[in-house]
Amino acid sequence: MKEELKIFHRIFTTTYDAIEKFMNMLNPVIQNATDDHERLYYHHIFEEEEQRLSRLVELIPLISKFEKEKSDADFAPTNNEFNRLLQELNLEKFGLHNFVEHLDLALFRFTDEDRSTMLNQLREVSYQDYQQVKAMLNEINSRFDTNYVDPHAHHDEHHDHLERSGAAAPARVTVKHKKGFTVGSLR
């Protein structure tokens, strides 16, 4: 678990910096938006990343604490703090997933070289990190038998729509929802 915590720490520290870069890019876009729809759209994405940032401010020290202070005996579902850590990591897996999509959406609009180069760099790292977090959490959740069911698993089974063939091209997205899918099935 110590090795995994080290990787989680690296990934969420990296994404923290990536959020800052993305928000700093969005700031003038929001200031100079030409209409209310555009302004709300980018401000909305800005705020969702701001929310993620404020959660990471809590999560990163929690990971450090487990890295430094805790022994293997603490990595157990009977430990409330460990459960909280796992729950937060599961949440931030979605945070990373949504961030990749925010970057993909931005890549459709900011096609100038400076911004598209930066967005593509952030996108590549975030996508790799998302995949690694997902794999590690699947493994940890099965190891600790937490009965955690990934509500996104059906996406990954049917179509990993975040997959991209080339780094420089805008995202090619194929979204196929199962026929007759209703969210009521989640109840």
CB nearer a copy of itself, residue 3 or residue 166 = 166
Q: What is the full DSSP assignment across the chain? A: -HHHHHHHHHHHHHHHHHHHHHHHHHHHHHHT-SSHHHHHHHHHHHHHHHHHHHHHHHHHHHHHHHHHH--GGGSSTT-HHHHHHHHHHHHHHHHHHHHHHHHHHHHHH--SHHHHHHHHHHHHHHHHHHHHHHHHHHHHHHHTT-----TTHHHHHH--TT--S-SSSPPP----PPTT--GGGG-
What distances in angstroms separate CA 173 from CA 45, 100, 140, one per listed residue? Answer: 19, 12, 30
What is the nearest approach in angstroms of a copy of itself to the Cβ of residue 83?
8
What is the nearest approach in angstroms of a copy of itself to the Cβ of residue 116?
14
What is the nearest approach in angstroms of a copy of itself to the Cβ of residue 63?
15
- Binding site residues, a copy of itself, CB under 8 A: 19-20, 23-24, 27, 30-31, 36-37, 39-41, 43-44, 47-48, 50-51, 53-54, 57, 80, 84, 91, 94, 97-98, 101-102, 104-105, 108, 151-152, 155, 161, 170-173, 175, 177, 181-184, 186-187
What is the nearest approach in angstroms of a copy of itself to the Cβ of residue 157?
15
CB nearer a copy of itself, residue 3 or residue 24 = 24
What is the nearest approach in angstroms of a copy of itself to the Cβ of residue 3?
26
What is the nearest approach in angstroms of a copy of itself to the Cβ of residue 154?
10
Nearest to 102 by CA among 79, 116, 119, 87: 119
CB nearer a copy of itself, residue 6 or residue 84 = 84
CB nearer a copy of itself, residue 7 or residue 53 = 53
What the block records as the tokens of 176 is 């196929």
CB nearer a copy of itself, residue 124 or residue 150 = 150
CB nearer a copy of itself, residue 3 or residue 187 = 187
